[in-house]
Chains A and B, each alone.
Chain A
């Protein structure tokens, strides 16, 4: 187990390294932070000054070395727009994003697990079709639109919750649902499918033939076998949240997270800060995948030692 874990961690670190290097290629080879930060009509003299100020006049190899050695100690460069270390700015915003993802994950799991079980229990009956209907609708609607609909109904019309910002637990509810509904729709279908498929497997047929009821067989025989898939899928949903949903939803709800910071950084032509935000989010994705693998091994000891 320990050797497997060590190997898995090294592989994850390698992925982070490759991803960040790719980001460096985009931000320093194809273009550079100085060019991006200046308007097109800036004079050549102006550009040279900016390059020197940002250290971009040095050879690429030196810049890359700086970038990599900075990464190792958590230095992601200086934000041109805010005049502060980029890593500090991103890390300040990180708790808000994590809170949002936690809320969305809670919504996802609390909706998906019961809906998936209902659909599997009443397979091909009304409840199953209803859950399928919910899933199709929720994965077809853009999350940011769901966000605005929730705002229109619950904040504007009913006035139950504040519209924007992050003031306490209440304001977390709408954005969590805006993100979580689509994830719940996908996960509910996966849960249903998992239970239904497990129930057809020979070991479940054996249990049923011994006179155990369907509910007993589902709960005591199939759950553990479904759990590993459920954890994996939840992990995938988490990565979707980190890399897509939160960015858009933070904009909709004016949520002070990493995604919105990145969008503001783009608007202010601050390539270094965008790069820092992207590196941090990509690292979160890799860490999530790692945690999912560990959880799966704990649930099912037969998982390959890949």
Chain B
């Protein structure tokens, strides 16, 4: 991806794979072979699967303690390696609760809130984008202006005012995150529709008298899917980070339920004699978000490669 490069090589890898016959190559198998070459993709998928598994079946795993079980004599036990025991591998918090158990409990909230928010934003945003792009005219202007205004009024501000008005709750956090990301989907959806709208096959099916909504779903949605998946993954990372920030500010899950952001909020008064509470909770957020980001990086690079190859092969004159 540099500009013109001066580096030369002398026929060293002429033996490398010559063009293989592409017989009915599906996107999926392309994706799989691309994954094999990408460390980012593999680690991303690995982290995300572990996170998903832990979030769904975590509480039923053996040896996992009750996350709400207090035990004041055991309070602020350090993790293994810093003087702790395997009874509490990652130590305990200010009330003697097991950090590992609370982290696993918190994973559910992160996953739930993240997925729910992205799901709502994707459905709502894409629908608006499709309508704006397909119908055009005043409705298009209205939707696009709304997206512009939303850009100027990001989620945290909306979160502040809504929490002030209605009090904290998980559902409010989901709604706030969703309204701070719907316009991303709207823009992409609208852009793709506008490109496809002009392309011949839509015109052709309009001429043959197909109803417009059917044309929309039949032709446009499949084309949207790959962009949407990439976008959803990207937004999921942002959503998990936002959830942790809202929880940290005390806007989301309320005690005694636990969430990673809330653990940091509760552990912050103990950073001198219990650094592990804040450290492990933040580490959990960071690793999961990193996993999602790696996944999204890989998906984007896959799309890039596809584009780049076309550029090389289609550029006039070679």
Give me the interface of A with B, judged by CB distance under 8 Å: 15, 18-19, 22-23, 26-27, 30-31, 36, 120, 123-124, 136-137, 139-145, 148-149, 151-152, 156, 196-201, 204-205, 208-209, 214, 217, 239-240, 243-244, 247-248, 251-252, 262-263, 265-266, 269, 271, 274-275, 277-278, 281-282, 285-286, 289
Contact = CB atoms under 8 A, between A and B. Distances in A.
B6 A145 contact: no
Contact of A31 (B153, B166, B271): B166
A148 B286 contact: no
A152 to B, nearest CB: 5
- Chain B contact-residue range equals 35 or more
Contact of B290 (A26, A140, A199): A140
Contact of B165 (A19, A36, A137, A252): A36
Interface string B272-296: 1001001101100111011001100
Given A145-B282, A247-B160, 4 more contacts: A22-B149, A22-B153, A200-B1, A274-B161
A19 B152 contact: yes
Contacts of A251: 248-249
Contact of B154 (A143, A217, A239): A239
A144 B248 contact: yes
Contact of A145 (B2, B286, B297): B286
Contact of A142 (B153, B166, B271, B286): B286
Contacts, number: 150
A141 B289 contact: yes
B286 A141 contact: yes
B245 A140 contact: no
A3 B107 CA distance: 53
14 contacts: A26-B161, A30-B166, A140-B293, A144-B264, A145-B281, A145-B282, A148-B278, A199-B2, A214-B6, A243-B157, A247-B160, A248-B248, A248-B249, A278-B157
Given A23-B161, A271-B164, A196 B152 contact: no
B271 A285 contact: no
B1 A196 contact: yes
A205 B161 contact: no
Contacts of B154: 239-240, 243-244, 285
A196 B148 contact: no
Interface of B: 1-4, 6, 148-149, 152-157, 160-166, 237, 241, 244-245, 248-249, 261, 264, 268, 271-272, 275, 278-279, 281-282, 285-287, 289-290, 293-294, 297
Contacts of B4: 199-200, 204-205, 208-209
B246 to A, nearest CB: 9
B279 A200 contact: no
B297 A31 contact: no
B289 A148 contact: no
A151 B13 CA distance: 51
Nearest to B163: A266
A192 to B, nearest CB: 9
A244 B156 contact: yes
Contacts of A139: 289, 293
A196 B245 contact: no
A15 B268 contact: no
B3 A141 contact: no
A278 B176 CA distance: 15
